Amino acid sequence: MSEIRIPQPIADTLVDPVAYADGRIHDTYAWLRSNNPFGRAEIEGVEPFWVTTKHADILEISRQNALFSNGEKSPTMVSQAVDARVRAMTGGSPHLLRTLIHMDQPDHMKYRVLTQSWFLPQNLRSLEERIRKIARAAVDNMAAKGGECDFVNEIALHYPLHVIMEIMGVPPEDEPRMLMLTQELFGAADPELGRKPEEKPEEDPAQRIDMGVLTDFINYFTQFSEGKRAKPTDDLGTLIANSQIDGQPISHFEAMSYYIIVATAGHDTTSSSTAGAIWGLAQNPGELKKLHDNPALIPGLVDESIRWITPVKTFMRTAMDDTEIGGRKLSKGDWIMLCYASGNRDEEVFDAPNAFRVDRSPNKHLAFGYGAHLCLGQHLAKMEMRILWEELIPRLKSVSFNGEPVMSQAVFVNGPKRLPIKFEMA
C-alpha cells in the first residue's frame, strides 16, 4: 500500500477554495485516485483528515451511518480556528445550525419524515403544471434576451429559486433577498459572492463565520414562521412552522435550521447543475444535436449535468469506532472528507469520465449522496431540470460561449458563477 500521507501541495488544494474554481481540484482528484485513493491530509490550521476519492469507498462510508457520523464533528470542512470559535459560541457544539446534514439517528429520521412526503414523486406530480409554467416563463425570458445572456445570473439562478420559494410559501418579492443570502452563505470564501466583513477585512475569507448572514436568515424566518402559525396555508413553510417532534412543537432553533437548509440547498445546487448543462452543451455542440434527434435523452442530460458539475463537492464524516476502509486502518474520532466530484469521475465506474455525454448509461453518480442522507430534494431537482429542458431544448437551435465561464470559489458547494453565452432560438 502507498504511503498514507498525501504530499503537501496535493493536500493543500483540498482546502483551497480557488482550486475548486480554476479546475485544479480535478487534477488533484485524478492524482489521488491513481496514487493514494484513501490518504491522510495534514494541513496547517486544520485537524488532520482522511480523504476518500474512489466511488466504491464513498458508497461504503455513506451506507454506514452509525459508524460514520454527521453530528460528532462539523459535516463541512472548517479550520481549527473556526471550529474553536463555533464551539465557544454554542457552548461546545460544533454546529451553528442543526439541519438534517448535522444529525445522526434517531433524530435524523424524525426530522426527515416531517417534510419527506412533499418531496416524493407522487406529490411532486401535482406540482408539474405549476413548475412548467415557471419554466416556460424562464425560457420566454431567455428568448427575449436577443441571442446572448449570462445564463447563470439571468436564467439559472432564478428558475429553481422561484420553484422552491413557491413551494415554501415565500412571497416573490422576497426572492432576491433569499438569493443574496444563499450566495453569501455558500460563497463566503468567494471575494465576489461573500459578504464583506465590517471588522477584520484582512481576515482570510476561508476562516470567516458568517454570523451576519445566519442572523439575517433567522430574523427573516422568525417572522415568516410566526405568520405561518397565525395564518396556515398549504405550503412547506406552514408545515415546518407547525411541526411536532416527539409530541412537542419543533424548537425555534431547529425550525430556523430547517428553513435555512431548504431555502438554500433547495435551489442553489439545482441552479449549478442547470448552468452546468448549458456549459456542457456549449462546449460539446454534438450533444445538443443528440437531444434534438432524440428528446427521450433529456433525463440523461439532467443526470449528466448533475454528475459533471457535482455542486456539493465535499462532506465530512467522523469515525465512531476503529475500522478499516480502502485498506486503511481508521481510529475512533478520525475525520474523513468524502470527495463526491472525484467519485463522479472515477475511471473504474465511468467511461471517459471527463467527457460530457447526454446519453451516458448507466450513470451511477453520487451527487445526491447515498444511504440515510440521500438528498431529500433529489426528485424535485431532477423534475425541475427535466421540465426546463423539455421547454427549452426544442427551441434552442444552437448555443456557444460568449466569453469565459467562471466557477465560484468554495470547498463545500460550488458551481458556475458566470456563463456568458450566444444562442439561437427557434
24 phi and psi angles, rounded to 5 deg: -60, -25
- Asked if residues 266 and 164 have their Cβ atoms less than 8 Å apart, the reply is yes
For the chain, the C-alpha Rg in angstroms (whole number) is 21
376: DSSP letter: T
List, in order, residues 6 or more apart from 122 with CB less than 8 Å away.
Answer: none
Q: Which are the contacts of 281, defined by CB distance < 8 A and separation ≥ 6? A: 287, 288, 291, 356, 399
Candidates 60, 58, 61; CA nearest to 69 is 61
Angle (CA) 294-423-344 rounded to 5° is 60
User: Which residue stretches of the chain have pLDDT < 50?
Assistant: 1, 199-202
Q: Of 218, 229, 197, 6, whose CA–CA distance to 97 is shortest?
A: 218
Nearby residues of 394 by Cβ (< 8 Å), 6 or more positions away? 292, 295, 426
- The residue whose grid cell reads 491530509 is 41
Estimate to the nearest angstrom the gap between the alpha carbon of 9 and the chain centroid.
26
Q: Residue 50: CB partners within 8 Å, gap ≥ 6?
A: 38, 39, 40, 41, 328, 330, 334, 335, 336, 337
8 Å CB contact between 349 and 364: yes
- 8-425 is classed CATH 1.10.630.10: yes
Q: Where are the domains of the chain?
A: 8-425
Distance between CA 90 and CA 211 in Å, rounded?
Answer: 12
Read off the C-alpha cell for 231.
395564518
Query: What is the CA angle 209-104-323, rounded to 5?
Result: 100
| Chain mean pLDDT for the chain | 94
β-pairing, 420-425 with 396-401? antiparallel
Residue 197 carries which DSSP code? P
Give the pLDDT confidence score for residue 1 in this predicted structure: 47
Contacts of 176 (CB under 8 A, 6+ apart): none
Angle at 174 between CA 170 and CA 175, to 5 degrees: 85
Partners of residue 349 on adjacent β-strands: none
Cα–chain center distance at 295? 27
Whole-angstrom Cα distance, residue 55 to residue 342? 8
Q: Where are the alpha helices (DSSP H) in 266-396?
A: 268-283, 285-293, 298-309, 340-343, 378-392
Of the candidates 212, 351, 272, 355, which has an alpha carbon nearest to the alpha carbon of residue 20?
272
Q: Are strands 335-339 and 49-52 parallel, antiparallel or unpaired?
A: parallel
In whole angstroms, what is the distance from residue 137 CA to residue 155 CA? 10
Q: 143: which residues sit within 8 A by CB, 6+ positions away?
A: 395, 425
Cα separation values, 100 from 97, 106, 235, Å: 10, 11, 20
Beta strand extents in 201-269 (DSSP E only): 244-245, 248-249
Give dist(CA 87, CA 348) in Å, integer: 40
Nearest CA-CA partner of 261 in 59, 75, 61, 125: 75
Question: How is residue 376 written as a grid cell?
Answer: 431529500
